[in-house]
Amino acid sequence: MQEGVATNPEAEPLQFAALTDVGKQREHNEDNFLVDRRMSLFLVCDGMGGHAAGEVASAIAVRSFHEELKREWEMVEDYRAKKSGAERVSRRDIMNVLEFAVNRASMRVHEAAKADDAKRGMGTTLVGVLIIGSEAFIVHVGDSRLYLLRNGAIEQVTEDHNVMNELLKRKKMSREKVEKLPQKNAVTRAVGVYEHVEPDTLVLDLAADDRLLLCSDGLSMYFEDDLEGLGKLLRVEDENEAVSQLIDTANELGGKDNITALVITFKTGEAGDERARKLALKREILARMPLFRPLNDREILRVLQVTDASQFEDGQFVMREGDSGDELFIVLSGRVKIMHGDAVLTTLSPGEHVGEMALIRSQPRSATVVADGPAELMVIRRTEFFEILRKEHQLAVKLLWQFTNVLADRLAATNKELSSAKTELAEDVTTEIYPEDDEEDRKTLVMLPPLTLDES
């Protein structure tokens, strides 16, 4: 039996279809989904609690989230319109709205559970996406997932809030031991179990023909070891046919749980291929940088969401020596010159960066940076960088550790250069002091250890 269909195959720039099914072994469908075409809002919730309480929890969560977003819709419209000045709305503001909507839903579900003993402890997972222009604002709690299909390749974007991931992130057990735990897939965060919940948020830049899949674990459980199999089903061109095949396949593989699939295809103009190439390039460059090299794919996406791109003309200043600044610049295309006074110290090419110390401390710029021909640079600002550190503790540890390594490498290189310079200076001075016939005295002076640097 298939039920709960939503479809809009003709709408631009989004095409979507959704389907939910009770599965083969459940009496009630505790999944709920929501599609608001006008708002470009999509939600999937998977309820839990028994005695049909899960169905109640997911329904309350969907409704409450939707109502809260409607109340804040003017802010979303201001962001879409790129308002400036006092009316400016940032990405962080939109994510705050989504996080607040999740917590309002959690409070409503929790209140309903307290009012009825039969529903006490009920809760629900939630995964949602709000699409504004070419940006997908993602929010999720629990183990309902969002996948991205881009250029035929599929990846899981969200990370389940379950026992397995919590233990692995905290390095409490090896993966081999965690895999053997009977409760490894138990959800560690859910909407409504407590009055408040901590959702994860992410912003994803979209390119032409990107396809998103929101689904409950009744579908994803059958593709844990077969991501390519899921990608094959998701590559079915027609969205309605895609969701039907996803549901049918989950039922054929056992249908142990309720199954919900919501597929969205993002459609733009001819520039889509170029945009996809640029998005891939940004991701590749970040992943290669020493500062971000230890990060996993999801963490790279998290850093990408706080990057902007700026265009510079030939000869335009990126930064000036002595000015204060709070930005890290990464060359995306073109080249920039690093200058001290009128002297060119070096030239940076794509993938190289300058100004990383500005992310962690405020100090005057030590050099001038000028575009050497047209250039495009990625920019990360200190305020957004610290927002990541505050919210993503595991990511913060990795980033701060890398900063420590980079600083240690710089200090070692500086000490080596100074030591070499002092040795050369000593040789020059002793040659002047001692003539060639005083070779022994000259050697004795040159071999004295260099002075220790005073790092204070």
Domain count, the chain: 3
Band of the pLDDT at 424, cuts 50, 70, 90? low
Helices (H), 192-269: 217-220, 227-234, 239-252
Cα 376–Cα 405–Cα 366 angle in degrees, nearest 5: 50
Token pair in block for residue 443: 């050697």
Do 16 and 6 contact (CB within 8 A), yes or no? yes
Band of the pLDDT at 272, cuts 50, 70, 90? low
pTM over 0.75: yes
Same domain, 261 and 283: no
The last residue of one of the domains, among 269, 294, 319, is: 269
CATH number at residue 387: 2.60.120.10
Residue 63's pLDDT is 97
Band of the pLDDT at 2, cuts 50, 70, 90? very low
Token pair in block for residue 174: 């090896």
The last residue of one of the domains, among 246, 269, 292, is: 269
Q: Which of 92-106, 183-197, 199-213, 346-360 has the lowest mean pLDDT?
A: 346-360
Residue 170's pLDDT is 72
Same domain, 283 and 352: yes
Structural domain containing residue 412: 397-446
Q: How buried is residue 261: exposed, middle or buried, by Cβ count under 10 Å (0-12/13-18/19+)?
A: buried
Amino acid at 303: V
Predicted confidence (pLDDT) at residue 362 exceeds the cutoff of 80: no
| CA-closest candidate to residue 233, choices 251, 217, 213 | 213
Phi/psi at 234 (5° precision):
-75, -20
Cross-strand bridge partners of residue 130: 41, 137
Q: Give 330 or 296, the one with higher predicted confidence.
A: 330
The 10s digit of each residue's pLDDT in 180-200 is: 788 888 899 999 999 999 999
Same domain, 238 and 351: no
CATH number at residue 162: 3.60.40.10
